[in-house]
Chain A
Amino acid sequence: MRSSERIVITGIGLTAPNGDDPAAFRRSLLAGRSGIEPWHIRYFGETIAGVCHFDPLKYQKRKEVRVGTRAGSVAVYCANEALRDAGVAWSGTDRSRVGVYLGITEHGNVETESEIHEIRQYDYDLRFWSHYHNPRTVANNPAGEVTLNLGITGPHYTLGGACAAGNLGVIQGFQQLVLGEVDLALAGGVSESIRTFGIFAGFQSQGALAAHPDPARASRPFDTARNGIVVAEGGCVFVLERLEAARRRGAPIYAEIAGFASNSDAADMVLPNAERQKECMELAIARAGLEPADIHLVSTHATGTPAGDIQECEAVRRLFGPECRRTYVNNTKSMIGHAMGAAGALELAGNLPSLQDRTVHPTINVDNLDPECELRNLVINHPQTVDGVDVILNNSFGMIGINSVLIVKRTES
């Protein structure tokens, strides 16, 4: 890889249902602490969700919160935290050379539902439809709110990639840095999806919404009693820079982007496809110049649906054969739910510390492992210290058959 193509992660900003910064998030994941709680949403009623508790006013004025969107607030919080974490001297930064690339599963449902709810109180009189509807619902909104908040004049846009989107934001950031379009990328994914009743009702109608008397036990990938998805909100934004620029300014370097891939199932609206998932992982590994045995941690996408988990486990099982003795497998959604557009980026962020602490966080709530989800070195219920983690492969898959895989590695000197 040419030196200009060596892109590193130098900052992390995140909010998850069980932590509002990388250290708190990691502590929760190692402790097996769930962030799922009771949740009420209009029309749907009582349910459960992964809810974030960051303070939007840490970086936004009250008016910004009032006129903006929840996804925008999540993005602004994460972007500011990431820049702070990276130690970027913001006042001296050429903001025309900064890009914002955020993955989203969907955007605009929350705002549209709210407006319809509002005008319903006025007998659907459209004179009461907000003039903020369009700026709130344009697809670039979450990334655009970051540029407004931080005075960034470089490019910004979102990447609509269903639940594969978190990885896509990072991939886009990588590509734009390699192309020389920007010198610093704020890249990741965000989700406000717990605030749209349509997501819950849609999964319910599909028979894919998790239910359990104890919210903390509801998200249970790989367990025989799993019964669907727990919807979560959240966000994770990485600061990406070229390696030489990061070294020049003495930045902390969490990891280097080693490879990535994205492909399509071309098979079904909602059902995942193990073969295409395997191909996507294979392509990412090949691009990274690696073999499957070089991957030390596979961060699975598994959402806790009966069919989806089996498909991914089959893909992982086929690709990582007996020679992959040092390849461990885990999952994050059991603790935070499915953070939709943020999932891929958040799940990577939760696993990045393993490059240093050699510990793989577990997936929780596996009381009875589904035989069809059995995998060698699947880390369940308790964290596991391993020989070392040099390379992490992060899976993110989504509806309409979209797959994305991101590989990061410990930075070589």
Chain B
Amino acid sequence: MTNDEIAKAVVEIITDIVPDEDCSNLDPAAPLRDQLDLDSMDFLDIVMELRKRYGVEVPENDYPKLATLDSCVDYLAPKLAGVAAE
């Protein structure tokens, strides 16, 4: 997956998790939790959906690396290098 595809995939997951929020204009450098009503259970949903949709495992120690859209892309890029976009 390209970086753009990864960013798009993460936004799709977040849109499903917080369907009442507008996820169309997220600042990729700002923390997601500052821009969206995301609680800790929602965050676990992101981890679960990455596992279900892309087979990616995110260990608990790495959760802080999913703080912003940019950091998600940086963290997930090597893990999703050989994965085709959905």
Cβ-neighbour of B44 out of A62, A122, A128, A131 (below 8 A): A131
In the complex, which residues of chain A have a beta carbon less than 8 angstroms from the beta carbon of B51?
Answer: 127-128
Q: Complex: how many Å from CA A57 to CA B45?
A: 22
Q: Complex: how many Å from CA A264 to CA B51?
A: 49
- A63, B41: Cβ atoms closer than 8 Å: no
Q: List 5 A-B contacts (CB under 8 A).
A: A63-B18, A66-B17, A122-B52, A130-B48, A131-B48
Q: Complex: how many Å from CA A66 to CA B15?
A: 12
- A62, B19: Cβ atoms closer than 8 Å: yes
Interface residues of B in 26-78 (CB under 8 A from A): 37, 41, 44-45, 48, 51-52
Q: Complex: how many Å from CA A398 to CA B41?
A: 36
Interface residues of A in 93-147 (CB under 8 A from B): 122, 127-128, 130-132
Cβ-neighbour of B20 out of A62, A122, A132 (below 8 A): A62
Q: A131-B41, A132-B41 are in contact. Are A63 and B20 (CB under 8 A)?
A: yes
- A128, B18: Cβ atoms closer than 8 Å: no
- B20, A61: Cβ atoms closer than 8 Å: yes
How many residues of chain A are within 8 Å of chain B by beta carbon?
11
In the complex, which residues of chain A have a beta carbon less than 8 angstroms from the beta carbon of B17?
Answer: 63, 66
Is residue A67 contacting chain B, with contact meaning CB distance below 8 A?
Answer: yes
Q: Give A55-85 as 1s and 0s: 1 = Cβ < 8 Å from B's Cβ atoms.
A: 0000001110011000000000000000000
- A67, B19: Cβ atoms closer than 8 Å: no
Question: What is the chain A residue whose CB lies nearest that of B44?
Answer: A131
In the complex, which residues of chain A have a beta carbon less than 8 angstroms from the beta carbon of B45?
Answer: 131
How many residues of chain B are within 8 Å of chain A by beta carbon?
11
Q: A131-B41, A132-B41 are in contact. Are A63 and B48 (CB under 8 A)?
A: no
Q: Chain A interface mostly helix, strand, loop or mixed?
A: helix
Q: Complex: how many Å from CA A122 to CA B41?
A: 21
In the complex, which residues of chain B have a beta carbon less than 8 angstroms from the beta carbon of A61?
Answer: 20
Q: Closest 9 CB pairs between A and B?
A: A62-B19, A61-B20, A131-B44, A62-B20, A63-B20, A63-B18, A63-B19, A131-B41, A127-B51
Q: Complex: how many Å from CA A66 to CA B37?
A: 14
Question: How many Å from the CB of A361 to the closest CB on chain B?
Answer: 40
Question: How many Å from the CB of A393 to the closest CB on chain B?
Answer: 45
In the complex, which residues of chain A have a beta carbon less than 8 angstroms from the beta carbon of B52?
Answer: 122, 128
Q: Give B5-33 as 1s and 0s: 1 = Cβ < 8 Å from A's Cβ atoms.
A: 00000000000011110000000000000
Q: Complex: how many Å from CA A128 to CA B45?
A: 11
Q: Complex: how many Å from CA A132 to CA B42?
A: 10
In the complex, which residues of chain B have a beta carbon less than 8 angstroms from the beta carbon of A132?
Answer: 41
- B19, A66: Cβ atoms closer than 8 Å: yes
In the complex, which residues of chain B have a beta carbon less than 8 angstroms from the beta carbon of A131?
Answer: 41, 44-45, 48
Question: How many Å from the CB of A316 to the closest CB on chain B?
Answer: 49
In addition to A66-B17, A128-B52, A131-B41, 10 A-B residue pairs with Cβ atoms within 8 Å of each other are A61-B20, A63-B18, A63-B20, A122-B52, A127-B51, A128-B48, A128-B51, A130-B48, A131-B44, A131-B45
Question: What is the chain B residue whose CB lies nearest that of A121?
Answer: B52
Question: What is the chain A residue whose CB lies nearest that of B47?
Answer: A131
Question: How many Å from the CB of B37 to the closest CB on chain A?
Answer: 8
Question: What is the chain B residue whose CB lies nearest that of A62?
Answer: B19
- B41, A67: Cβ atoms closer than 8 Å: yes
In the complex, which residues of chain A have a beta carbon less than 8 angstroms from the beta carbon of B37?
Answer: 63
Q: Complex: how many Å from CA A67 to CA B17?
A: 9
In the complex, which residues of chain A have a beta carbon less than 8 angstroms from the beta carbon of B41?
Answer: 67, 131-132
In the complex, which residues of chain B have a beta carbon less than 8 angstroms from the beta carbon of A130?
Answer: 48
Question: How many Å from the CB of A315 to the closest CB on chain B?
Answer: 48
Q: Complex: how many Å from CA A207 to CA B45?
A: 41
Question: What is the chain B residue whose CB lies nearest that of A125?
Answer: B51
In the complex, which residues of chain B have a beta carbon less than 8 angstroms from the beta carbon of A63?
Answer: 17-20, 37
Question: How many Å from the CB of A124 to the closest CB on chain B?
Answer: 15
Q: Complex: how many Å from CA A358 to CA B18?
A: 49
Question: How many Å from the CB of B66 to the closest CB on chain A?
Answer: 16
In the complex, which residues of chain B have a beta carbon less than 8 angstroms from the beta carbon of A127?
Answer: 51
In the complex, which residues of chain A have a beta carbon less than 8 angstroms from the beta carbon of B20?
Answer: 61-63
Question: How many Å from the CB of B45 to the closest CB on chain A?
Answer: 8
Question: How many Å from the CB of B70 to the closest CB on chain A?
Answer: 25
In the complex, which residues of chain A have a beta carbon less than 8 angstroms from the beta carbon of B19?
Answer: 62-63, 66
